[in-house]
Amino acid sequence: MVSLNLHSMAVFSTVEFSGVVAGALAGAFEARRHRTHPYDLIGVLGLAIVTALGGGITRDVLLQKGPPLAFLDARYLLVALAAGGFALLFGGWAQGFVARFIWFADAASLGLFSVAGVSRGLNAGLTLLPSVLLGLITAAGGGLWRDVLMGRPPRVFERGEPYTLAALLAALVFLGCEHLGCDRSISTAAGSLSGLVLKLLSARFQWKTVAVNDVHQREE
């Protein structure tokens, strides 16, 4: 039982830190290429940290199980700062590559953070629905806070790529694998990859969510 718990925590930590790296890179690259607001060193690193850790901190505050993990374990901040620093130093090499990498890092972090949030909820003794909600908050929270701080409407609330739907798919696939008795590492990989695959398919086939205003106008 102890070894199983240790294995679960190891998988959770791997997923969480992978999401932190992807989120920090996405946040820092987004700040670097922004043309409306010329962000300085603090701005780029700050947005990297917010994107990487904002969802997890929000999740942990809602759980009320003590201070957020990002404040208890300094590695979270160090990893986010290192990834943000990397983007700051080397993000100007090739703008086309950077733009694609921003998108991929953001897409990869979706599934990773969603699975991490669901795992955290289950480990805290929550039932399925609250755990799924925590997964969505963990996945979308960092990007939401980043967009708010950058002075624009959060993308997760607007018509466009199925951002939150990809996080939801990752959570449901993870839970489905857990229900089937799969090893936690297999459940984690399946959930994380499913979110990424949906994002890739949506980009390939131009799948977009539907704006409520568009539906209302057609009905009229």
For residue 197, the 8-state DSSP code is H
181 residue type, one letter: G
| Lookup: tokens for 91 | 């993000």
pLDDT of residue 209: 87
Could you tell me if 107 and 46 are in contact, meaning their C-beta atoms sit under 8 angstroms apart? no
pLDDT of residue 147: 92
Q: What is the pTM of this model?
A: 0.82
| Alpha helix ranges (H) inside 64-183 | 69-72, 74-90, 95-123, 128-149, 163-179
The Cα 182–Cα 132 span in angstroms is 18
Per-residue pLDDT of the chain (220 residues; tens, 9 = 90+): 434 344 555 666 777 788 888 889 888 888 887 777 889 999 999 999 999 999 999 999 999 988 998 999 999 999 999 999 988 887 666 556 666 776 777 777 788 889 989 999 998 999 999 999 999 999 999 989 999 999 888 888 888 888 889 999 999 999 999 999 998 889 988 998 999 999 999 988 988 888 777 655 665 5
216 CB-near residues (< 8 Å, 6+ apart): none
Neighbours of 56 (CB within 10 A): 27
pLDDT of residue 1: 41
Neighbours of 156 (CB within 10 A): 17
First to last CA, the chain: 60
81 residue type, one letter: L
